[in-house]
């Protein structure tokens, strides 16, 4: 099957798997303030972000990877996507760039189930879904050419320093790490979209967020400054840390966007 046909089949497969699962999931944590069943609007939003928007979300990431590695394509490389959600980004990059192997790791049961079902229906040779915690990676040293963390570190309760040391361990020599994340310099706090929260001291930010009825899981997440992220990457042993904006470009305005893409090599 050609590359484009595989990608078309991918969307149909994901839509079918999500249609099958979403209405049945109680306590589904995304886009639902009351943690109850998703309503139709939230479900449409979820499908848009996790299926329909995948090519446009992947495009700056693929572009930044190619620029950083100074290559025309990513053919034949292996990718580990940490906190891969439903795995659609890993699957898309796998087909689009003709990767040799892509593996997604995800903690959430619902999301890894969706990935696994979609993956089996797509029947690719080297696309894997692993349920696990990114803080402790179940892979031997020097396993992957690329490790990505996309919209993960500002959403999760993680020890970023420890996670980066683990990523360094499982990355192949000269392999690339890529982090796409929100950062503290941007005035709107992600993922709550509250203006100014990033600039308040932690204690006051929490009181304000509680007053604004921010979900507790968001109060426990940490939005780092780009400088902290770069420092932790360097301390984990990575070299040549470079920052791109959320359009996959370098330049003076990198930190003026809500998200940054940070790359480094082992
Ligand atoms: C905002 S989603 C991003 C998903 C995907 N990377 C994307 O960009 O579409 C954050 C994901 O991180 C996962 N996650 C949170 N903590 C994790 C951990 N310790 N290990 C693995 N996954 C985790 C959540 O379950 C969720 O799927």
pLDDT value at residue 127: 95
Mutate which of 48, 86, 152, 164 for ligand 1 pocket (most atoms within 8 A of beta carbon):
152
**DSSP state at residue 8:** H
User: Is 28 a residue whose pLDDT tops 70?
Assistant: no
Contact (Cβ atoms closer than 8 angstroms) between residue 187 and residue 195: yes
Phi/psi of residue 234, nearest 5 degrees: -65, -45
* Å from CA of 159 to ligand 1 middle: 14
**Residue 196 in this model has a pLDDT that exceeds 80:** yes
What is the rounded CA–CA span in Å between residue 132 and residue 138? 8
Q: Does domain 57-183+224-265 have CATH number 3.30.56.10?
A: no
Helix H or strand E encompassing 146: strand 144-150
The reported pTM is: 0.91
Q: How confident is the model at residue 110 (pLDDT cuts 50, 70, 90)?
A: confident
Angle, helix 109-122 to helix 88-96, in steps of 10 degrees: 30
Q: In percent, how much of the chain has pLDDT > 90?
A: 55
Q: Which atom of ligand 1 is nearest to the CA of 54?
A: 9
- Within 6 A (CB) of ligand 1 lie 50, 83-85, 89, 105-108, 111, 133-135, 150-152, 155-156, 158
DSSP class of 22? G
CA of 2 to the centre of ligand 1 (A): 30
12-26, 104-118, 155-169, 247-261, range with the lowest pLDDT:
12-26
Q: Residue ranges per domain, the chain?
A: 57-183+224-265
What pLDDT score was predicted for residue 24? Answer: 55
How many whole angstroms separate alpha carbon 218 and alpha carbon 157? Answer: 9
pLDDT on residue 226: 93
Q: Give the model's pLDDT for residue 38.
A: 56
């Amino acid at each position: 099957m050609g590359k484009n046909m595989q990608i078309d089949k991918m969307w149909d497969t994901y839509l079918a798997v999500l249609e099958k699962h979403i209405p049945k999931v109680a306590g589904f944590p995304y886009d639902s303030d009351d943690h109850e069943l998703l309503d139709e609007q939230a479900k449409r939003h979820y499908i848009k972000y996790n299926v329909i928007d995948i090519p446009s979300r992947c495009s700056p990431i693929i572009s930044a990877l190619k620029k950083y590695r100074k290559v025309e394509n990513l053919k034949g490389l292996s990718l580990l996507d940490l906190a891969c959600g439903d795995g659609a980004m890993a699957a898309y990059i796998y087909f689009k760039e003709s990767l040799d192997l892509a593996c997604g790791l995800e903690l959430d049961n619902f999301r890894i189930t969706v990935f696994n079902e979609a993956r089996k229906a797509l029947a690719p040779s080297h696309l894997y879904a692993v349920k696990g915690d990114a803080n402790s990676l179940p892979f031997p040293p020097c396993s992957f050419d690329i490790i990505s963390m996309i919209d993960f570190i500002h959403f999760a309760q993680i020890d970023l320093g420890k996670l980066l040391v683990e990523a360094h361990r499982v990355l192949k020599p000269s392999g690339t790490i890529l982090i796409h994340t929100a950062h503290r310099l941007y005035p709107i706090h992600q993922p709550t979209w509250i203006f100014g929260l990033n600039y308040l001291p932690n204690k006051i930010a929490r009181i304000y967020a509680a007053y604004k009825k921010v979900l507790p899981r968001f109060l426990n997440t940490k939005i780092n400054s780009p400088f902290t992220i770069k420092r932790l990457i360097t301390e984990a042993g990575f070299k040549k840390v470079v920052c791109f904006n959320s359009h996959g470009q370098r330049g003076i305005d990198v930190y003026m966007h809500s998200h940054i893409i940070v790359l480094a090599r082992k």
